[in-house]
């Protein structure tokens, strides 16, 4: 097992550079408000730095970061206790630049309940395998596969029959 | 969804350079800089507390607050719609105030006061009657932090209140609508029948029947005493896969393991209840003479033990004292989710006192290596889960015939089990503190330890 100290700013910056975009996208997909995603993003990296955790592998590090991101997203819901979650178009350019059908699919994914949205997003948009997502979310592979299946079924209904198989 | 569209998302949804810069500064300074508060104007009002804390001459901190609510917190129907549970309960204990998020809100942080409440009657949702639940309330019962305009009431021990509680994402119960969420009805449990005749009680029941629905994320309660749900092992022992587990490198040893029986306690030198402060593996390397390899042949053996540091909370029998920190060393141990003791958790552990050597020098000719054990104490029967102390009582496997012979509740073991743990899936019980104390006394007397 290779032990690696993360208590140096150089290393921290390197890791941050590598995973920042992924962490931010996962946070935004989850909380759906840019300002909240900013908060989660900062919280995740503060925790990462302060934890000074030793990782067995790069995959372990990535899984930990995503797992903490998902936990921080949940904390957002409870810390601002009475806040409703509202989908706001923080990124209007997405609608302009993406083909209409893809944008509609993305919007549909974003409006799925959390338990389907997270696996669907990580699987189809970030390209992780079910096993990898299982490692990130601590959800059993079998449960995850059924969440993916149900998520796809919900999307199919939302998209009025269009299949969501890719 | 084509690749190009995914690339558009990846190139668009990303942290801006200012955020990265601020995060880098905040993280490396080990301090979180709070980002601008989220205001979703015109869509939903957020609870935004803009704090300018100022110390008053009496030492309290006055927090002028600008809190806007998505519900009318003085309207029972709206508060009921927001809440997950509405019930009549008696305050058993006020467990003090803690302050959180001091990094964001100036000294001393946001206050939360904790209570233990016994559920007397459900109005919305169903908690198990006559069992206690832990509840956290927004606000400071000590008066150290005073939130302006809150006009709050902090219940006292013995108060009977109508509680409007919502489940937080971590499963805990929270009272958030200031005094409305703990509306005081009486100070005596004897008056419950009388309370139910009161206009205030009827108003609350009516409000719950005609609640104003509120759409928000709903979470699963942590309380193990929620009706209609199984008594889950993961809830009881606060099971977390992320917790440090034993990562042993020891080889598999074949040993004949006798089935556990309470009579084995006769071999004990002590039975203690203690908190596991640390767990580590220790490796001994010992070289012995071994004629199998010819004249002068040697055998190098590596022996792994598991060393626990235990802070004793209670001594049921034996010569230890409370608060004493002792070392326990197991030569044989089984790793597994329910088999392994975990750091920070408390257990009732029967202990045996053994020899000071890891090998008997009378039986083998030792050439080199340290044969002195770190501790002479070991767990009596390390092959089944030790009795874990949890908030609600004790988690006991059914091999303890006497301990599970009284009133008990079956536990559903809902965590992934290793092969070695599988047999405990159907045999774990929760025994209340009172019943456990009584039954353990029986066991100790029967074993001649008392």
State pTM to two decimals. Answer: 0.45
- Tell whether A86 lies on the interface with B, counting CB pairs under 8 A: yes
pLDDT tens, position by position, A76-122? 655 433 344 445 567 888 888 889 888 889 888 988 888 888 999 99
Q: Which residues of B touch A79 (CB under 8 A)?
A: 101
Nearest by CB: A41 against B12, B23, B47: B23
Q: Is the pLDDT of residue B272 over 70?
A: yes
- Position B60 scores a pLDDT of 60
Separation between Cα atoms, residue A46 and residue A33, nearest integer Å: 20
pLDDT band for B37, please (50, 70, 90 cuts): very low
Separation between Cα atoms, residue A164 and residue A105, nearest integer Å: 8
- A140 and B44: CB-CB below 8 Å? no
pLDDT tens, position by position, B109-142? 678 899 999 989 889 987 877 778 889 988 778 7
Q: Determine the distance in angstroms separating the CA of A58 from the nearest CA of chain B, rounded to an integer.
A: 17
Element (H, E) at B134: strand B132-138
- Position B447 scores a pLDDT of 92
Which residue in chain B has the smallest CA separation from A32?
B13
DSSP letters, B44-80, are B---------EE-TTS-EEE------SS-TT-HHHHH
Nearest by CB: B12 against A39, A46, A91: A91
CA of residue A83 relative to chain centroid, distance: 20
- Position A2 scores a pLDDT of 30
Question: Bridge-partner residues for B412, per DSSP?
Answer: B232
- Highest mean pLDDT pick, A5-19, A21-35, B216-230: A21-35
Nearest by CB: A78 against B6, B20, B169: B169
Mean pLDDT of B374-378: 95
> Do A65 and A25 touch, CB atoms closer than 8 A?
no
3-state secondary structure of A113: coil
Instruction: Report residue B171 as tokens.
Output: 């499963």
- A86 and B40: CB-CB below 8 Å? yes
Range in B76-85, B161-170, B180-189, B292-301 with the lowest mean pLDDT? B292-301
Mean pLDDT of A12-18: 86
Q: Determine the distance in angstroms separating the CA of B23 from the nearest CA of chain A, rounded to an integer.
A: 5
- Position B126 scores a pLDDT of 76
Separation between Cα atoms, residue B313 and residue B60, nearest integer Å: 35
Which residue has better confidence, B218 or B351? B351
Q: Which residues of A touch B14 (CB under 8 A)?
A: 20-21, 24-25
Which residue in chain A has the smallest CA separation from B18?
A38
Which residue in chain B has the smallest CA separation from A90?
B13
Q: Determine the distance in angstroms separating the CA of B218 from the nearest CA of chain A, rounded to an integer.
A: 10
- Tell whether A81 lies on the interface with B, counting CB pairs under 8 A: yes
Mean model confidence pLDDT for chain B: 80
Which residue has better confidence, B363 or B313? B313
Mean pLDDT of A50-76: 84
Interface test with A, best of B22, B23, B43 (most A CBs within 10 A): B23
- B32 and A42: CB-CB below 8 Å? yes
pLDDT tens, position by position, B139-198? 778 777 665 555 788 999 989 999 999 888 777 888 888 889 999 998 666 678 888 888
Element (H, E) at B410: strand B409-410
Q: Which residues of A touch B33 (CB under 8 A)?
A: 42
- Position B49 scores a pLDDT of 38
Instruction: Report residue B300 as tokens.
Output: 């190098």
Which residue in chain B has the smallest CA separation from A6?
B28
Nearest by CB: A86 against B44, B176, B217: B44
> Do A80 and A86 touch, CB atoms closer than 8 A?
no
Which residue has better confidence, A140 or B440? B440
- A98 and B5: CB-CB below 8 Å? yes
Which residue in chain B has the smallest CA separation from A88?
B40
Helices (H), B83-212: 192-195, 199-209
3-state secondary structure of B327: strand
What strands lie across the sheet with B145-147, from one edge to the other?
A: B54-55, B61-63, B145-147
Q: Among residues B339, B239, B15, which one has the least CA distance to residue A42?
A: B15
Q: Is the pLDDT of residue B323 over 80?
A: yes
At a CB cut-off of 8 Å and minimum separation 6, what does A108 contact?
A155, A158, A159
Radius of gyration of chain B (CA): 28
Pairing of strands B387-390, B346-353: antiparallel
- Position A88 scores a pLDDT of 52
Q: Determine the distance in angstroms separating the CA of A55 from the nearest CA of chain B, rounded to an integer.
A: 13
**Residue B200 backbone phi and psi in degrees, to 5:** -65, -45
- Tell whether A18 lies on the interface with B, counting CB pairs under 8 A: no
> Do B315 and B399 touch, CB atoms closer than 8 A?
no
Q: Determine the distance in angstroms separating the CA of B108 from the nearest CA of chain A, rounded to an integer.
A: 17
Chains A & B: contacts with CB separation below 8 Å: 138
- B23 and A94: CB-CB below 8 Å? no
Q: Which residues of B touch A8 (CB under 8 A)?
A: none
- Position B69 scores a pLDDT of 62
Q: Determine the distance in angstroms separating the CA of B28 from the nearest CA of chain A, rounded to an integer.
A: 7
Q: Which residues of B touch A16 (CB under 8 A)?
A: 20, 23-24
Q: Is the pLDDT of residue A37 over 50?
A: yes
- Position B112 scores a pLDDT of 86
Location of structure tokens 């890791």 = A15
- Position B34 scores a pLDDT of 32
Q: Give A112's Cβ-side CA count (13 Å radius).
A: 29
Q: Which residues of B touch A13 (CB under 8 A)?
A: 24
């Amino acid at each position: 097992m290779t032990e690696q100290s993360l208590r140096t700013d150089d290393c921290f910056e390197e890791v941050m550079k590598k995973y920042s975009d992924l962490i931010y996208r996962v946070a935004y997909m989850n909380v759906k408000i840019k300002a909240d995603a900013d908060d989660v993003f900062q919280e995740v990296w503060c925790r990462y730095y302060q934890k000074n955790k030793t990782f067995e592998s790069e995959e372990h590090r990535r899984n930990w970061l995503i797992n903490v991101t998902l936990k921080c997203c949940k904390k957002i819901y409870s810390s601002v206790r009475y806040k409703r979650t509202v989908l706001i178009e923080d990124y209007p350019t997405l609608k302009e630049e993406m083909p209409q059908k893809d944008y509609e699919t993305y919007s549909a994914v974003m409006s799925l309940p959390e338990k389907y949205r997270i696996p669907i997003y990580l699987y189809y948009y970030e390209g992780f395998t079910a096993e990898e997502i299982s490692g990130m979310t601590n959800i059993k592979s079998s449960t995850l596969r059924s969440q993916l299946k149900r998520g796809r079924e919900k999307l199919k209904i939302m998209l009025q029959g269009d299949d969501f198989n890719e | 969804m084509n690749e190009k569209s995914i690339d558009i998302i990846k190139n668009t949804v990303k942290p801006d350079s200012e955020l990265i810069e601020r995060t880098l500064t905040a993280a490396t300074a080990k301090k979180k800089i709070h980002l601008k508060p989220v205001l979703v104007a015109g869509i939903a009002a957020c609870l935004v507390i803009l704090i300018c804390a100022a110390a008053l001459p009496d030492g309290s901190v006055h927090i002028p607050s600008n809190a806007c609510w998505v519900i009318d917190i003085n309207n029972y129907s709206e508060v009921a719609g927001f809440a997950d549970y509405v019930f009549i309960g008696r305050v058993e204990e006020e467990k003090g105030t803690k302050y959180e998020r001091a990094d964001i809100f100036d000294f001393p942080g946001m206050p939360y006061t904790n209570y233990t409440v016994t559920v007397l009657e459900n109005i919305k949702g169903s908690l198990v009657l006559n069992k206690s639940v832990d509840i956290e309330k927004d606000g400071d019962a000590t008066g150290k932090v005073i939130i302006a305009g809150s006009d709050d009431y902090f219940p006292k021990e013995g108060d009977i209140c109508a509680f409007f509680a919502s489940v937080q994402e971590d499963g805990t119960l929270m009272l958030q609508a200031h005094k409305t969420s703990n509306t005081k009805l009486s100070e005596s449990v004897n008056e419950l029948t009388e309370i139910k005749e009161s206009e205030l009680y009827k108003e609350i029941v009516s409000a719950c029947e005609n609640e104003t629905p509120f759409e928000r994320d709903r979470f699963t309660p942590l309380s193990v005493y929620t009706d209609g749900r199984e008594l889950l092992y993961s809830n009881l022992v606060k099971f977390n896969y992320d917790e440090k587990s034993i990562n042993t490198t020891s080889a598999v040893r074949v040993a004949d393991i006798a089935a556990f029986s309470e009579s084995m306690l006769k071999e004990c030198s002590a039975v203690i209840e203690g908190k596991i402060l640390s767990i580590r593996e220790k490796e001994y390397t010992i070289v012995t003479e071994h004629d199998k390899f010819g004249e002068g042949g040697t055998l190098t053996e590596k022996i792994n033990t598991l060393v626990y540091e235990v802070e004793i909370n209670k001594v049921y029998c034996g010569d230890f004292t409370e608060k004493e920190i002792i070392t326990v060393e197991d030569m044989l141990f089984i790793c597994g989710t329910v088999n392994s003791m975990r750091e920070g958790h408390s257990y009732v552990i029967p202990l045996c006192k053994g020899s000071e050597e890891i090998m008997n020098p009378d039986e083998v000719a030792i050439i080199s290596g340290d044969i002195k054990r770190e501790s002479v104490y070991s767990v009596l029967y390390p092959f089944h889960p030790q009795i874990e102390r949890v908030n609600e009582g004790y988690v006991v496997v059914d091999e303890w015939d006497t301990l599970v012979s009284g009133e008990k509740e079956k536990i559903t073991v809902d965590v992934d089990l290793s092969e070695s743990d599988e047999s405990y899936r159907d045999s774990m019980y929760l025994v209340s503190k009172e019943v456990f104390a009584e039954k353990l006394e029986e066991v100790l007397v029967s074993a001649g330890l008392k």
